[in-house]
């Protein structure tokens, strides 16, 4: 029974009713109908369903199309070699088949139009779904961006509202960048060093170079990491940890940083 149910749900019976199977496939279906009489009831139900669908979506064929079909039928009737005997019953029968054929053609055309319309509606629905999905992705990206900005703002407020934990060091520009400046937040207790990109005023670095932050510890420079200066950067950025420092400085180094600072490229400096 499970195999029979799978066979019914495969859609082959609908294709059989619509005449959309090859000769061998139709033969296989007919063998199944002989073997399983219940399938004949399914065929009847499918035919009823298709008939109801056709009646529900039926539209009167355009007048010019119906006239064209009837004209072709009359021409074909006149070209027959066998003469037509003018008997009333025979004429009525020919008229019946002629109009039945025309009605079948019209019903076929209407069905094709209905299928095309359904296909168009399905494509339109898929397009709307794609648009909604894209809008949802953009909205999610925007929400993530706003949440990131809020986190940065909270971090900045946390630092500026806790002066007992964080010392704010204002780094000023050297002769290499007289108008440059940057704020560094340092917590010896938490061993944290953070730079405030919102206060950063420095020339943007190129792709081959980065700015490198240094801490002066007992007279020796200690690497605290590299960063980029861009016009759209903002918020607090955590650098490498350090327990103590007497001053901070920024140099312009090759991308990735240097082991020792390039003194000729000293851009910022500030003491605690």
Per-residue confidence (pLDDT) for residue 135, from 0 to 100: 73
CB count within 10 Å of CB 238 equals: 12
CB count within 10 Å of CB 18 equals: 11
The domain limits of the chain are: 2-110, 167-271
Both tokens of 80, joined, read: 């027959």
SS3 21: coil
Both tokens of 209, joined, read: 């170079």
CB count within 10 Å of CB 12 equals: 17
Per-residue confidence (pLDDT) for residue 173, from 0 to 100: 95
Return d(Cα 21, Cα 18) in angstroms, integer: 8
Per-residue confidence (pLDDT) for residue 170, from 0 to 100: 93
CB count within 10 Å of CB 57 equals: 14
Contact 247, 219 (CB under 8 A): no
Per-residue confidence (pLDDT) for residue 141, from 0 to 100: 67
Return d(Cα 142, Cα 125) in angstroms, integer: 26
Per-residue confidence (pLDDT) for residue 87, from 0 to 100: 41
CB count within 10 Å of CB 123 equals: 10
Contact 248, 216 (CB under 8 A): yes
Contact 227, 248 (CB under 8 A): no
pLDDT means per 10 residues, the chain with 272 residues, are 77 83 89 88 84 65 59 56 46 59 76 81 80 74 57 58 79 94 92 89 92 95 93 78 95 96 95 90
């Amino acid at each position: 029974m499970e195999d029979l149910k799978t066979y019914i749900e495969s859609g082959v019976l609908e294709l059989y009713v619509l005449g959309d199977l090859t000769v061998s496939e139709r033969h296989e279906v007919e063998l199944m109908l002989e073997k399983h009489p219940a399938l004949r009831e399914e065929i009847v139900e499918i035919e009823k369903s298709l008939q109801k669908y056709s009646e529900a979506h039926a539209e009167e064929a355009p007048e010019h199309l119906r006239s064209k079909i009837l004209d072709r039928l009359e021409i074909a009737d006149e070209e027959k070699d066998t003469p037509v005997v003018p008997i009333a019953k025979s004429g009525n029968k020919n008229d019946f088949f002629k109009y039945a054929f025309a009605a079948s053609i019209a019903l076929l055309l209407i069905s094709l139009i209905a299928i095309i319309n359904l296909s168009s509606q399905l494509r339109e629905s898929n397009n709307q779904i794609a648009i909604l999905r894209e809008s949802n992705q953009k909205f999610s990206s925007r929400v993530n961006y706003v949440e990131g900005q809020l986190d940065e703002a909270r971090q900045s407020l946390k630092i500026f509202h806790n002066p007992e934990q964080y010392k704010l060091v204002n780094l000023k520009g050297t002769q290499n960048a007289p108008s440059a400046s940057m704020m560094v937040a340092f917590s010896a207790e938490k061993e944290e060093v953070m730079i405030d990109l919102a206060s950063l005023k420095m020339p943007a670095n190129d792709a081959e170079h980065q700015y490198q932050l240094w801490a002066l510890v007992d007279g020796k420079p200690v690497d605290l990491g590299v960063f980029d200066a861009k016009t759209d950067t903002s918020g607090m950025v955590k650098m490498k940890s350090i327990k103590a420092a007497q001053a901070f400085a920024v140099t312009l180094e090759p991308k990735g940083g240097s082991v020792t600072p390039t003194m000729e490229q000293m851009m910022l400096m500030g003491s605690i």
